[in-house]
Amino acid sequence: MSETCGGVVWDGRPLDGVDVRLGERGRVTIAGPTVFDGYLGDPDATAAALVDGAVLTRDRGRWDDGRLVIDGRLDEVVISGGVNVDLAEVRRAVATIDPGADVVAVPDDEWGSRVVLVAASGPLEQWRQRLRALVPSTSLPRQVLHVASLPLTPGGKPDRPALVELAQRTAGHG
């Protein structure tokens, strides 16, 4: 991450002089000599990201035998039907079935957030049946969005905001 000027953790272990802590909900906080001074011309963003000299990341993590494991991002936990749904967990389960598929969440008047599966093919109920053994039933998708291939960002990652927009436009047509 650019806020840390390069590497701070190698193979799950903080480098010398780097302090990695886990806060509420497993939020990863990084402090040390490589942490940035702030965002140029944006004191509000700086105040939100840099507290007492430590970078508050949006990553969720845990310690496993002395190694930092990143479990996902804080903004990937949504509330659907009053239950926390970890989209990273659902995404990992979906990838075991189809590595070219993805998961997003869209606002929903009834559920708060609706989990949407994005895949090349397959009816919703078939996906739900296959995923039932891998994730809690409260995390199962409620909509499927069929796409030939995932839209990508210039960096080659799935363009999830584009998928959210498409899922909202096609709700009920998947």
The percent of residues above 70 in pLDDT, for the chain, comes to: 98
Residue 173 confidence (pLDDT) = 46
Supply the mean pLDDT for the chain: 91
| Residue bearing the bigger pLDDT, 74 or 54 | 54
Domain 81-169 listed as CATH 3.30.300.30: yes
**CA angle at 17 for the pair 12 and 18, rounded to the nearest 5°:** 45
Q: What is the Cα–Cα distance from 26 to 70, expressed in whole angstroms? A: 9
Q: What is the pLDDT of residue 106?
A: 95
Q: What confidence score (pLDDT) does residue 107 get?
A: 94
* Mean pLDDT calculated for residue range 29-41: 92
- pTM greater than the 0.75 cutoff: no
Amino acid at 75: D
Domain map of the chain by residue range?
A: 2-74, 81-169
Q: Are 163 and 169 in contact (CB under 8 A)?
A: no
CATH code for the domain defined by 2-74: 2.30.38.10
Give backbone dihedrals phi and psi of 46, rounded to 5 degrees, phi first: -65, -45
Is the pLDDT at 159 greater than 90, yes or no?
Answer: yes
Single-letter amino acid, residue 61: G
Output the furthest CA–CA distance in the chain (Å, rounded). Answer: 53
